[in-house]
Amino acid sequence: GHVRTFTGYRVQHDNSRGPFKGGLRFHPEVDIDEVRALASLMTWKTAVVGVPYGGAKGGIAVDPTQLSSHELERLTRKFVAGIHDLIGDHVDIPAPDVNTNAQVMAWIMDEYSKFHGFHPGVVTGKPVDLFGSAGRDEATGRGVVIAIEEFLRTQGHEVPESRCVVQGFGNVGSHAARILHEKGARVCGIGDHTASFYDAAGLNVPSALAWVREKRVLQGWSGGPSIPNGELLLSPCDVLVPAALGGVLTKDNAEALQCRIVAEGANGPTTPEADEILQRRGITVLPDIFANAGGVTVSYFEWVQNIQQFAWDETRVRVELERIMRKAFRDLTQTAATHRTDLRTAAFIVAIERVARAAQQRGV
Q: Which of 232, 245, 244, 221 is nearest to 188 (CA)?
A: 232
Centre a 10 Å sphere on the Cβ of residue 272 and count the other Cβ atoms it contains.
Answer: 10
Q: Residue 23: beta bridge partners?
A: 95
CB 90 within 8 A of CB 120: no
114 given a catalytic annotation: no
Catalytic entry in 21, 57, 78, 114? 57
Centre a 10 Å sphere on the Cβ of residue 178 and count the other Cβ atoms it contains.
Answer: 20
Summarize the chain as % helix, strand, coil (round to 5).
50, 15, 35
Please enumerate, as own/partner, the contacts of 109-112 that have beta carbons within 8 Å and a separation of 24 or more.
111/76, 111/77, 111/80, 111/81, 111/84, 112/80, 112/84, 112/87
* Structural element, H or E, at residue 345: helix 343-362
How far, in whole angstroms, is CA 261 from its chain's centroid? 18
CA triplet 137, 140, 146: central angle to 5 degrees?
125
Cα separations in angstroms, 175 against 166, 206, 293: 10, 11, 14
Q: Which of 185, 191, 257 is nearest to 228 (CA)?
A: 191
Active site residues per annotation: 57
